[in-house]
């Protein structure tokens, strides 16, 4: 999330920090790609860990970091397609809809 925020700030300091932060994120993503090497999921089957990792990877969707790594992009697409992920995301979004300020609710 910090990287996304840095990309939205238009200052010399933010620009200076973007590369080292992106490099650190890439190192973590490389480790994840290594872990997935030949696997569909983090373990032998889809688990809560995959739900959580998918949420983390979705945070990076405004960058090209996941897209630049085909195994991670495929993993993200695979996990997002899972009914368990879709159900968890729908439940999370419902909580936001139920607690939306009245002035922002659709008529």
Q: What are the residue ranges spanned by the domains of the chain? A: 22-94
CATH of domain 22-94: 1.20.1050.10
Residue 37 structure tokens: 């090497």
Cα 88–chain centre separation:
14
Asked whether the predicted pLDDT for residue 3 surpasses 60, the reply is no
Give pLDDT, residue 1: 45
Asked whether the predicted pLDDT for residue 42 surpasses 50, the reply is yes
4 falls in which pLDDT band (50, 70, 90)?
low
Counting beta carbons within 10 angstroms of the beta carbon of residue 31, is it exposed (0 to 12), middle (13 to 18) or buried (19 or more)? exposed
Q: What mean pLDDT is reported for the chain?
A: 86
pTM of the prediction? 0.74
């Amino acid at each position: 999330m910090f990287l996304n925020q840095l990309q939205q700030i238009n200052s010399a300091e933010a620009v200076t920090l973007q590369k080292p932060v992106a490099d650190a994120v890439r190192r973590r993503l490389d480790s994840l790609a290594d872990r997935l090497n030949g696997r569909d999921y983090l373990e032998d089957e889809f688990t809560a860990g995959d739900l959580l990792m998918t949420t983390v990877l979705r945070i990076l969707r405004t960058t090209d970091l996941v897209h630049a790594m085909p195994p991670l992009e495929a993993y993200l697409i695979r996990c997002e397609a899972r009914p368990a992920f879709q159900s968890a995301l729908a439940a999370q979004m419902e909580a936001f809809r139920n607690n939306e300020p009245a002035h922002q609710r659709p008529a």
